[in-house]
Amino acid sequence: MTGDIPFGEAEASLTAEVLREVLAGGADAFARLTSDEGAVDDFGFDPELTDDYLLPVLRLLYEKYFRVDLEGLEHVPADGGALLVANHSGTLPLDALMLQVALRDHHGAHRRLRLLAADLAFDLPVVRDLARKAGHVRACPENAMRLLGSGELVGVMPEGYKGLGKPFEERYRLQRFGRGGFAAVALRSRRPIVPCSIVGAEEIYPMIGSAPTLARMLKLPYFPITPTFPLLGVLGLVPMPTKWTIRFGAPIHTDAFPEDAAEDPLVVEKLAGEVKDTIQHTLNEMLEGRDSPFA
């Protein structure tokens, strides 16, 4: 492994202070998780809880562990609805959470990303409360349309579990983008699509196998086997300290399409394919310029 994580005494002290502040209010925050207190919409989004308790913890991963670099942030609109479409990987969905930190902390308008999440996120105890409080919503066209109509920045990762749980040998090869539902939503709402390419997440939990029987028993889409999990138990859940880059591409505008374009399967498929090809090309380009996953 190359590339040590830069972590001096001042940074360690700041990290400890952040954790102390978060833990000090932990009891109140946990009680608030299971209530409607602080919610600003009927999805349950709680901006105050997210900013005060959830993002500070994720920020430590973003800044100190994955050391994320951002490129093309100017392509993300400063206001109004837009659909941010990204690749998905890493066994656990940390890439989606790092996107939230990136846009909230570093975008000029400090935009909040409302992520479309799979049903599983809302079926698991505690996870479902964290998801809704952080602004995630069940992935369906109706919810996406509502959010875009309200001027929200909506995040979608069309590969879903096929991307998240793909074998390590298939890293950075995009899986099928579903049926192109995101493209139909963009066409109906006439909102721009912002392609997003993430490099670094593929290596945090190298998936070398799976246990389908266990997955079925636990009602999970897959049960990963990595070099450290389940061999090392809980310690095996510590991600590899890879160096990440997130690149936002130029928006693909949909307001020039005919108003009924979303009803034409060929148009929808072509637009979805264009977005996928753009992301794959960008991933390939980013990988060519990368010396090591860790530096």
For the stretch 196-234, pLDDT in tens is: 999 999 999 999 999 999 999 999 999 999 999 999 999
Q: Which residues lie closer than 8 Å to 53 by C-beta, 6 or more apart?
A: 22, 25, 26, 29
pLDDT at 149 over 70: yes
- Residues 204-222 as b or e (16 or more Cβ within 10 Å = b): bbbbeebeeeeeeeeebeb
The answer to whether 195 touches 85, Cβ cutoff 8 Å, is: yes
- Is the distance from CB of 121 to CB of 143 less than 8 angstroms? no
Residues 286, 197, 201, 177, CA torsion sign? negative
Closest CA to 196 of 254, 292, 294, 280: 280
Sequence-ordered list of residues with C-beta below 8 angstroms from that of 58, at least 6 positions apart, any chain: 97, 98, 100, 101
204 contacts 91 by C-beta, under 8 angstroms: yes
SS3 content of the chain, % helix, strand, coil (to 5): 45, 10, 40
Q: In whole angstroms, what is the distance from residue 286 CA to residue 175 CA? A: 18
Q: How confident is the model at residue 1 (pLDDT cuts 50, 70, 90)?
A: very low
pLDDT at 94 over 70: yes
pLDDT of 16 over the 60 cut: no
In the prediction, which pLDDT does 253 show? 97
> Both tokens of residue 236?
């095996």
Give the sign of the dihedral formed by CA 174, CA 176, CA 180, CA 185: negative
Q: What is the mean pLDDT of residues 106-125?
A: 96
pLDDT (average), residues 245-261: 97
The whole-number pLDDT of residue 21 equals 55
Residue 2 has a pLDDT of 36
For residue 92, what pLDDT is reported? 95
User: May I ask the CATH class of domain 40-204+239-289?
Assistant: alpha beta
Q: What is the mean pLDDT of residues 282-289?
A: 97
- The tally of CA atoms less than 13 A away on the side-chain side of residue 135 is 25
Measured distance CA(143)–CA(66) in Å, rounded: 31
What is the per-residue pLDDT for 201? 98
Is residue 202 helix, strand or coil?
Answer: helix
Report the percentage of the chain scoring pLDDT > 90.
85
The helix/strand/coil state of 247 is strand
Of residues 36 and 155, the one with the higher pLDDT is: 155
Residues 6 or more apart whose Cβ sits within 8 Å of residue 224: 91, 165, 205, 207, 209, 210
